[in-house]
Amino acid sequence: MSQFANFLLLVVTLAVVGHTHAQTVLTGVECTAKLISPRSDVASVYDGAETIYIFGGWFYDPSDTLIPYADTHAYNITSDTISVIGQLPRTSWSGGAWFDAPTGNIYFLRGDGTFLWQYTPSTGETISHGEWRGDSSTVTLVRTWNNKIFAFGGLTDATAVYEYDIRTGVQGPLGTLPAPSELSVGVYATELESTFLFAGLMGTWAPSLMVHNHSINATTTRATPTFPSFRHGDGSITWDGEFAYIAGAVVDNGARGNGIIKFNLDSVEAEFIPVNGLADQLTSTSTVYVPGLNRIYIIGGYDLRNLDTDQIWYVDLDQGKTKN
């Protein structure tokens, strides 16, 4: 074979490899266990061991009436089993939850932002941890450093950022976003000591997302014009220690796609990754990352037909990776 032919073969090989990499497709696997009933906009949190706690949610009945729920599920990732372990003091949907490892408590903010609840898995007790100032519906609850949490956005306060110290109970407005961002999603990056907010512009399928980065040293806002977009309020986010992943109502090339957005918080680069096996055009779902399995769980939501689901899926992020 001539040198020129060898060169052409190399070019073709590299092109095929590059194309294959760009077309990486993941697979969502249905869990055997299901929610007690179909529902969307649950709040889910992983306890660092083998349990995912799932709070509330809502369901639209055939007459298009919204039915909110107050039950709490416990899903065991080892046995793939689920049970209802209690009831919240009030119905809740579109809220946020955070697991506090030092105490073993879960902090949960209802979608209407009225109260911050403290749930103790060891006793099953739920108590009010304090009244939340401002309407933070639909809320994103993000853990930060120094025992603080953030709540972003709200239907009536769409540019607000709130801060709450769970140890002292001190709370108050932290700042404002550059544009209304109701129903946003956020994540706290432990290693970077920064909280990132991803916000679709209110009332639109945003062609781009804003990234609001609040760190110990500074607060910055960066636009990401090439970012795959998602419908405001319909996305859910999780963090694997390196990348953020957004699932639910994700848009790829202008249309709702079946997949997730993978976002590098350091470089502010993103890509759409197709995921087979999920409900068609799943939205208003909840995501949880389990580090020991390098796996994302996707919980509940509704599909293209506007039908709520009781399904739980998992997506292994190691799919397609070469093992050394």
Question: Is the confidence at residue 1, as pLDDT, over 80?
Answer: no
Q: What CA–CA distance (Å, rounded) separates 311 from 31? A: 7
Tell me the backbone φ, ψ of residue 306, rounded to 5 degrees: 65, 30
pLDDT computed for residue 213 by the predictor? 63
Task: Count CB atoms within 10 A of the CB of residue 262.
Answer: 20
Tell me the backbone φ, ψ of residue 7, rounded to 5 degrees: -65, -45
Question: Is the confidence at residue 26, as pLDDT, over 70?
Answer: yes
187 band by pLDDT with thresholds 50, 70 and 90: low
Q: What CA–CA distance (Å, rounded) separates 192 from 270? A: 18
Angle CA 239–52–61, to nearest 5: 100
Question: Is the confidence at residue 176, as pLDDT, over 90?
Answer: no
Q: 120, 108 in Cβ contact below 8 A?
A: no
88 band by pLDDT with thresholds 50, 70 and 90: confident
Average pLDDT over the chain, rounded to whole? 74
130: region left, alpha or beta (phi > 0 left; psi from -120 to 50 alpha): left
pLDDT computed for residue 12 by the predictor? 35
User: Model confidence over 48-74: pLDDT tens digits?
Assistant: 999 999 998 889 887 888 898 989 999
Closest by CA position to 278, among listed 252, 255, 249, 253: 249
77 band by pLDDT with thresholds 50, 70 and 90: very high
CATH class of domain segment(s) 27-316: mainly beta
DSSP 37: S
pLDDT computed for residue 311 by the predictor? 96
Sign of the dihedral through C-alpha 87, 88, 91, 97 = negative
Q: What CA–CA distance (Å, rounded) separates 11 from 252? A: 29
pLDDT computed for residue 28 by the predictor? 95
What number of residues does the chain have?
A: 324
pLDDT computed for residue 314 by the predictor? 97
Q: What CA–CA distance (Å, rounded) separates 120 from 125? A: 5
User: Model confidence over 96-154: pLDDT tens digits?
Assistant: 787 888 888 888 776 666 677 888 999 988 888 766 655 554 455 555 556 677 776 56
The three-state secondary structure class of 22 is: helix
User: Model confidence over 235-268: pLDDT tens digits?
Assistant: 677 878 788 888 876 665 555 668 888 887 777 7
Closest by CA position to 68, among listed 76, 56, 78: 56
Stretch 36-45: mean pLDDT, rounded?
A: 91
Instruction: Give the residue extent of every domain in the chain.
Output: 27-316
pTM of the model: 0.81
